[in-house]
Amino acid sequence: MKRGLISALVIIMFMSAIETSIVSLATPAIGKDLGVHESLALIFTSYMIAIVIITPLVGEIMKRLGSKYTMIAGITVFIIGSMLSGASFTFPMLVASRLIQGFGAGIMMTMGSIIPKIAFEIPYRYKVMGIVGSVWGISSIVGPLLGGLILTYLKWSFLFYINVPVAIIAIVLVLKFFKFDEQPSKSKLDVKGLALFYAFLSCVIVGFALGNTLSIAIYVAALILLYLFIKFEFKVAAPFLPVRSFNKKIGITMGTDMIYAMMLMGTNIFLPFYLQTEKGLTPLMSGLTTFSISVFWLTSTFILKHVERKLSVKQVYQLSFLYMIIGASIILLTESVIAVTIGCIFLGLSYGTVFTKNVVTIQESAAPQELGSMMSAYSLLKFIGSTTGSVVMSFVYYSNVLSNIHNNMAVMVIIAIILIIIYQMIYRGKVVR
């Protein structure tokens, strides 16, 4: 049962994780085939917007369908989007198909954070979270290799069709191994709360997309809508988002996760780019160099239970921030590829500890009936952190303060030092385990 559940989660998360890296290789071929050049970024933008839109709803869907059928719904939508993407003969059709695919991916990724809480107890859950989390690093190597092979011998549409047989295997595993005792909720849907939240989210997306002076007014409107949303949710018996359950512990956890998601983009996107453009490594060699992040991400989850026996919550986080300082400093102060590999070891320990500890903290803090909603909010904030992080870290990378990747590493060192200080102040005098 455990092996079946873990296999299902790994396959589902792998499909979601590999999608961006594998499709990015095909953009030149897609542009040539469909006669589009300047708007190719919409292939990725539509996918990400769909994830942002659907993620907050996953908790509500799960309340009504249960985890098994919510996951099957997500995989099915993903299959439909993949098939339509592969069959697209116009660019608007491809963008619309990617939107559908993104809806499915958003459900799968959010459920991937919820299922371990339902199925596994701590400390075994740490191992499961580590295995599932390491899939993202593995996909960064497998994606370019698989994509290159497909583009060499087949048409770009097969990059999407390849998802179909894998997704069918995932559905079979879900049907066989997702056996949880759940009762569908009959609570009334919080329509007004949903409307206010999506109005707020729309303002954030539009403001981010515009990126000009008008964005300031849109962000102000977003803050007003957020205030109205929170105020309204406090009055609702069955709120769309359980704001009453948010406390300092959940707030600092989600904030830390969002910041770490931003920093992860500075590593995942720009470290391979640096190794290939500045160090002349092949995509495969750069992938193998940074693969130590995934290996030690997984390692950190296996040793986390032992670390927690000896250290308080504050000390666990501060140790992980120290890992970040050491890893980023090694890459910042050296030019050697071997040194980069060593630095990635410490980065992997830091990311693995923080992300695993964060998701388990949210899982354990949420009441059973609020788990889906709380994890949806967590997943949304993490994805927003990743999306904004790709923009912020791009700006940092190309700034002229230092040179390329060293800018990113310097910023990551500074952020880690600030986080150590913040956690020292928040947990002052407390020995919380």
pLDDT at 433 over 50: no
**pLDDT tens string 380-431:** 888 788 777 777 888 888 887 777 888 989 999 999 999 999 988 887 755 4
Which residue range forms the structural domain that includes residue 312?
245-433
pLDDT at 323 over 90: yes
Encoding tokens for residue 408?
């990113």
**pLDDT tens string 265-287:** 878 777 887 887 788 887 668 77
Taking the CB of residue 248, how many other CB atoms lie within 10 A of it?
8
Whether residue 376 is found in the same domain as residue 253: yes
Whether residue 98 is found in the same domain as residue 220: no
Q: Which CATH number belongs to the domain containing residue 64 in this structure?
A: 1.20.1250.20
**pLDDT tens string 14-63:** 888 777 667 766 777 888 888 876 677 778 778 888 888 888 888 888 88
Residue 239 lies in a domain: no
- Which is more confident, 380 or 87? 87
Residue 238 lies in a domain: no
Dihedral over alpha carbons 60, 61, 65, 68 (to 10 degrees): -110
Whether residue 181 is found in the same domain as residue 201: no
Burial classification of residue 261, based on how many CB atoms lie within 10 Å of its CB (0-12 exposed, 13-18 middle, 19 or more buried): buried
CA distances from residue 191 to 84, 108, 370 in whole angstroms, order as listed: 31, 24, 17
35: left (phi over 0), alpha (psi -120 to 50) or beta: left
- Which is more confident, 140 or 230? 230
- Choose one of 170, 185, 200: the last residue of a domain: 185
pLDDT at 91 over 60: yes
AA identity, residue 35: G
Whether residue 160 is found in the same domain as residue 293: no
Task: Name the pLDDT band for 319 (thresholds 50, 70, 90).
Answer: very high
Taking the CB of residue 4, how many other CB atoms lie within 10 A of it?
15
Q: Which residue has the tokens 């559905």?
A: 171
Q: Which residue has the tokens 């310097």?
A: 410
**pLDDT tens string 138-150:** 776 677 677 777 8
Tell how far CA 218 is from the center of its chain: 26
Residue 424 lies in a domain: yes
Mean pLDDT of the 113-122 span: 84
Whether residue 362 is found in the same domain as residue 301: yes
Alpha helices in 178-282 (DSSP H): 191-210, 214-233, 248-268, 270-277
Residue 113's SS3 state is helix
Domains contained in the chain, number: 3
Q: Concatenated DSSP letters for 370-411?
A: GHHHHHHHHHHHHHHHHHHHHHHHHHHHTSSSS-THHHHHHH
Longest CA pairwise span in the chain (Å): 63
Whether residue 219 is found in the same domain as residue 125: no
pLDDT of residue 214: 81
- Which is more confident, 299 or 141? 299
Whether residue 203 is found in the same domain as residue 103: no
Whether residue 228 is found in the same domain as residue 292: no
Closest CA to 141 of 269, 21, 11: 21
Whether residue 79 is found in the same domain as residue 167: yes
Residue 49 lies in a domain: yes
Residue 240 lies in a domain: no
Whether residue 59 is found in the same domain as residue 103: yes
pLDDT of residue 430: 54
pLDDT of residue 420: 93
Mean pLDDT of the 233-257 span: 83
Residue 428 lies in a domain: yes
- Global pTM? 0.78
Residue 208 lies in a domain: yes
Q: Which residue has the tokens 């964005």?
A: 215
- Which is more confident, 208 or 327? 327
pLDDT of residue 137: 66
Whether residue 149 is found in the same domain as residue 270: no
pLDDT of residue 269: 73
Whether residue 142 is found in the same domain as residue 279: no
pLDDT of residue 431: 46
Whether residue 184 is preceded by a cis peptide bond, meaning omega within 30 degrees of 0, is no
Q: Concatenated DSSP letters for 368-381?
A: GGGHHHHHHHHHHH
pLDDT at 191 over 80: yes
pLDDT of residue 345: 93
Highest mean pLDDT among 145-159, 318-332, 363-377: 318-332
Mean pLDDT of the 323-335 span: 92
Residue 220 lies in a domain: yes
